[in-house]
Amino acid sequence: MSGESRKTVSIREVGPRDGLQNEDPVSTDAKVELLDALSRTGVQRIEAVSFVHPKAIPQMADADQVWSRAAKVDGVRYSALVPNTRGAQRALAAGFREIEVVVSASDTHNRHNVNRSTAESLDDIAELISLLHDAGATAEVIVATSFGCPYEGDVDPARVASIVDRVTADGADRVALGDTTGMATPRRVRDVVSVVREAHPDVPLLLHFHNTRGTALANVLTAVELGVTQYDASVGGLGGCPYAPGASGNVATEEVVHMLHDMGIDTGIDLDALLDAAGLAQRIVDRELPSGVLRAGPRSRTVPA
């Protein structure tokens, strides 16, 4: 990857949704405060809430209230995650026009996640995409367990590519590949991205990495070198997956921004403002978050000799 194409990377902040859904429930006030702080960092995309049944994910039970109270900052694109048609209808009614839905490459994980097979979910998603398009919204399909499954182990890249084949044929506007439990390594990133890119060079592709086994930044770097320019990240390294044993936090947004900026790659994000938001996230969940940049500060920060 060279030249103009590697100078800019777009990060979608997922802390308010993916980050907080795996924590003990926090107050609506705290969620709004965090969402608003992130909106002021210069990040261009934020996954704000998910519209799921409160019995499934009680941490997201107040999604409507959070969204109605949040400051909507000009220039920031806000999205919502939905599990099904009912969730999509709620998201549309709330005013969202960028909506995400998840299907797992692993059939076992998909059954744990939404209690149906991958094939059944793909049929549902085809109908959901039509619903969203009819309402003037875009549909992003996130393929979870793209780099490995905690129940089944390795996932064949061809399996991932076949799911991308299906959802793009059904009209998906964007595709994201999720490393649900941090099983990706640079080799696996190359294998999966290469197969998907070869079949669908023009489909917007986003990658979602967890740092469960310490490889998230290496995976981002590998994908940047492959030409991928869109990534999910979570402030402070918040996050996980309620239906995936051992799925610790997402890659920390400030760690990704810190690395990319030092490489001369722009994200549009103010690192100091982002670190303030990460400190807020840490206070909200009342525990030390795993972000090394939050603990140590940026490399430009020095101490008196």
Residue 12 CB burial class (10 angstroms; 0-12, 13-18, ≥19): buried
Distances (CA, A) of 189 to 148, 156, 229: 11, 12, 14
Please give the single-letter amino acid code of residue 194: S
Neighbours of 69 (CB within 10 A): 15
Question: Which residues lie below 8 Å from residue 45, measured CB to CB, with a gap of 6+?
Answer: 10, 11, 12, 13, 76, 77, 78, 79
Question: Which residues lie below 8 Å from residue 96, measured CB to CB, with a gap of 6+?
Answer: 67, 78, 79, 80, 137
Active site residue 149: no
Residue 247 CB burial class (10 angstroms; 0-12, 13-18, ≥19): buried
First to last CA, the chain: 40
Q: CA-to-CA distance for 235 and 252, rounded, in angstroms? A: 5
The one catalytic residue in 35, 122, 207, 241 is 241
Which residues are known to be catalytic?
Answer: 241
